[in-house]
Structure 1
C-alpha cells in the first residue's frame, strides 16, 4: 500500500514552523545550528528546536532536522557532538548529504533515520540503490531529473521513499556545486553560507571601456543609455548555440534562474513514485508560507483522493506571492532559456504582504495588526488565512496611545480597539501595531495583503 502523500514545508524559525503547520504541512524541515545549508539564515537554537519537535508531535506532524553540510575536517568532531543533542530531541529524521558524516552517524546511532539531501545530487537509480543498501530510508532527488527518470528510479528501487522539490528557488548549478559565492565573497555554499552571487547585478562592457563608462553597477543612472541591437553568448565548442544576453538600467542577469512551480504536475509526480512534495524556502516569509500552502494543500489532497483540482484558481495563490517567474524546470524536458529570468533581479507578484493579525475586536470589527509594509486609507486589502480570502477596503487606521508611548508595552489590548486611539491616514512597517477595519473575524494565523496596482 502506498504511503500517504506528504506535503513538506520549510521552517526557518519556530513561528514559521507554526504557520507551516497551520497552512497545511504534514511535516516540516528545520535547520540545526551550524550544520545546515542555511546556516546564515537559520534562526533555530537548541531550545526552539525542542519546542518545534514538541509542537509538531503534539499535532501529529513530523519534523526533520537538516544537517546537510559537506564538512571539512575541523567540523567532524563538533558535528558528532551536536548529533548527540539532536538525538535527544527525537526528530523524525535527519536530512544529510556528507557520506563520511552519514557513515559515522550510522555507526554510532544505528537507529537514526536518514534522508539523503538533494545536495548529494541524486540523479540515477544506481545511486539510489547504493544509498538504500547503506541504510538511507528516503532520497531527495535532484531537481535536474525528468518525470521519466523519476519513474524509472522508482521502478528499479521501489522500496525506498522518494522526495522532490515542487516549489521555490532553483540553484543555477547542481545544488551546492557552484563556486561563484566562494570566489566572490569567500562564502562556501556547501558550508551553508552561499551569498547567491548568481543573482547579483552584472554589467556588460565592451573591450577597452573608458573609465567614464565603468560607472557604479549597483546604481540606477538617470542617464542610462539603452543598448541597441541584440547580444548573445556563444561557448567556443558549441558554435551556433547562442544564449541571449540583455541589460537594462538595473544590470544584466545571465544566471538568475526562475523559480520552480510544479503545481500542475502533482498527479504525474505521485504516479511516478514520489511520496514527499517539498517546498523550498527556510528564509522565506509568513506570506510565502501562506500562499504556497493555500495552493499545494488542496491540490495534493485532491491527488490523494483521485480527484481533479482547479489549477487556474490555485495558481492565483502562487502568483500572488513574490516570484521570479515560474518554470517546471527539467521535469518535462530541458527548459532552455525559459529557465532563466534575464530581465532583472526583481520579482513578479500581485499582492504585497502588509500585516500579520495579532488580535480582533469583534464588536467594532477592528483588527490589531503587526504592520510589515506601508498601508494607506483607500487601499484594497485582503484578509488571508488557511480558510479565508476576504477582499475589503481600508477605511480606518487607529494607533493605540499606549503603544505610541511605549511600542513594547504589554498593557495594550489585543481584543479591544482603543476608543481614544489616534486616527491616521497611513501606517508604516517596523514601528507599532495598528488597528484597522477588517469585516470578518480572522482565523488564527491570518495575514493582511494589499493588492498591487500592476498598471503602474
Structure 2
C-alpha cells in the first residue's frame, strides 16, 4: 500500500473534497475538560466514573455529575461514550453489574469495553447501548474485529501497534464494522496498555484503572547501550542519563496529524485523542488542531501550516508516528525547551455585567506580556501588552496573577469568549 503524507501549504497537490470525515473523539477527565473539548470542536467524548474506567485514580466523574455531563453533550450534538474498559477479576464482577445498572438512569451514547465478561454483562443489563471495543483489547486483525462484531460490538478500536498497511488491509476486509484509531497522545510501553509494572512496584493495577505510570519514573542506568548479537556495532537501545537517572521505559507520544486525510479515505470512523489526565490547556490546543485539520481535509485544503507547531507546543515528550509508517518509528518533532514554550495562562469562565472577564488562571501571567487568544479554527488573534489590565475578584488592581486563582481581566478584544484560553507569545 502507498499513501501520501499531508503537508502544510503545497499548491502542487490537488486534494479532492471528501464526502465523509471521521468523528473526532476527545478525552473528558472532568467537567472543565469536557467543556473544553466541546468548545474546541469534539464530535464525541469518552469519560468514566467509578473504579472500572482505567482512569479511576484521577480522571473520572462523580456519578452524580454524569447527568449534567451527558446533558451538556446532547445540547451541543456531541456523543458521550462511557468507559467500562478495565479487566476485572472475579471479586470485581459485582462492581461491574452495579456500575452498568447505574447507567440505566442516565444512559450514554455508547460503552467502551475491553473484557469479554463485561461485554456479556452489558448485553444483559444495557442491551440497547452500542458497544465499542477498547484499545485494551489490542485488536490487530480483521478476524478479531469480526469476532467482536459477532458478539454485539458496533465499533472496534484498532491497536496502536499497527502500520498504515495493516490498517488499510483491515479496513478493506471489514466494511460493515466501525473502526476507531488513536491519532494523538501518550503511548504505553506494553501491548495496548496491558502492563503489570504498576501492580508490581506499587500494588496498583493498570488494568483496573489505577496505574501509577512507573514507565515515566526516572531510573538509574547501570548499562547505557544494548547491542544485539547479530547486529554488531548497531545500538538497538540506549538509555540517556540526566543527573544520573533516565526515563528509558517512557515511549514517545503518538502524532498522526499528517495522516488524517489518508485515514478518512480508508473510511476510519473515529479519530481518537488520548489524554483524560492531561490538562484542559493541553486539550484546547490539541483538539483545536485536529478539528481544524479534519475540516480542512474535507474541504480539500492542505494541512494548516501551524498545526505541528501547535501540537509541539503542547507536548512534553517527542512526537512520533510510532509503528504507522512502513519505515518504522519516526520522531517528527521534539517538545520545546522551557524558554521556547508558549504557556497557556488562563481560561475565560464568564463575562461579568460590567463587561470584564472572569478568569481561571492556569500559570503566572504578568500584565506586560503580548498574548494570543486560542480561538477555534486555529485562529490566534493578538492582544498587545497595555491593551488589557488585571484586577483581583474584589476589584483591587494587579500587575500579575497566579496559577490556581481567579482574576478579572479588562479587555475589549472581540475575540474573547467564555471557554477560550489565553497563551503567551
Superposition map of 1:44-123 within 5 A = 44-123=61-140
- Do 2:135 and 2:192's aligned partners in 1 also have CA atoms closer than 8 Å? yes
- Do 1:360 and 1:441's aligned partners in 2 also have CA atoms closer than 8 Å? no
1:228 aligns with none
SS at match of 2:306: helix
Instruction: Confirm whether residue 28 of structure 1 aligns to residue 45 of structure 2.
Output: yes
SS at match of 2:61: coil
1:275 aligns with 269
Instruction: Confirm whether residue 317 of structure 1 aligns to residue 307 of structure 2.
Output: no
1:398 aligns with 390
RMSD between superposed Cα atoms in Å: 2.8
1:256 aligns with 250
Superposition map of 1:232-247 within 5 A = 232-234=225-227, 241-242=234-235, 243-247=237-241
My pick for the range that moved more, 120-129 or 105-114, is 105-114
1:427 aligns with 401
Using structure 1 for the length normalisation, give the TM-score.
Answer: 0.81
Q: Judging changes above 3 Å, is the alpha-carbon distance between structure 1 residues 348 and 168 closer, same or farther for their aligned structure 2 residues?
A: farther
Q: Judging changes above 3 Å, is the alpha-carbon distance between structure 1 residues 295 and 77 closer, same or farther for their aligned structure 2 residues?
A: same
From 55, 71, 77, give the equivalent of 1:38.
55
Distance in 2, matches of 1:29 and 1:163, equals 13
Higher relative contact order at CA 8 Å, sep ≥6: structure 1 or structure 2?
A: 2
- Do 1:264 and 1:311's aligned partners in 2 also have CA atoms closer than 8 Å? no
Distance in 2, matches of 1:3 and 1:265, equals 16
Listed one character per residue, the Cα deviations across residues 4-38 of structure 1 (whole Å, up to 9, x for unaligned) are: 52011111112211221111111111112111010
Instruction: Confirm whether residue 450 of structure 1 aligns to residue 424 of structure 2.
Output: yes
Q: Judging changes above 3 Å, is the alpha-carbon distance between structure 1 residues 167 and 110 closer, same or farther for their aligned structure 2 residues?
A: same
**Which 5+ residue runs of structure 1 have no aligned equivalent?**
207-230, 403-417, 452-456
- Do 2:372 and 2:381's aligned partners in 1 also have CA atoms closer than 8 Å? yes
Distance in 2, matches of 1:339 and 1:180, equals 28
Q: Judging changes above 3 Å, is the alpha-carbon distance between structure 1 residues 349 and 9 closer, same or farther for their aligned structure 2 residues?
A: farther
SS at match of 1:9: strand
- Do 1:359 and 1:367's aligned partners in 2 also have CA atoms closer than 8 Å? yes
**Which 5+ residue runs of structure 2 have no aligned equivalent?**
1-17
- Do 1:147 and 1:332's aligned partners in 2 also have CA atoms closer than 8 Å? yes
SS at match of 1:52: helix
- Do 1:142 and 1:164's aligned partners in 2 also have CA atoms closer than 8 Å? yes
- Do 1:172 and 1:256's aligned partners in 2 also have CA atoms closer than 8 Å? yes
- Deviation, structure 1 residue 333: 2.8
- Deviation, structure 1 residue 374: 1.0
2:289 aligns with 295
- Deviation, structure 1 residue 204: 2.0
Distance in 2, matches of 1:428 and 1:358, equals 16
Which structure has the larger Rg over C-alpha atoms? 1
- Deviation, structure 1 residue 245: 2.3
Aligned length: 405
Distance in 1, matches of 2:109 and 2:367, equals 47
- Deviation, structure 1 residue 73: 0.8
SS at match of 1:308: coil
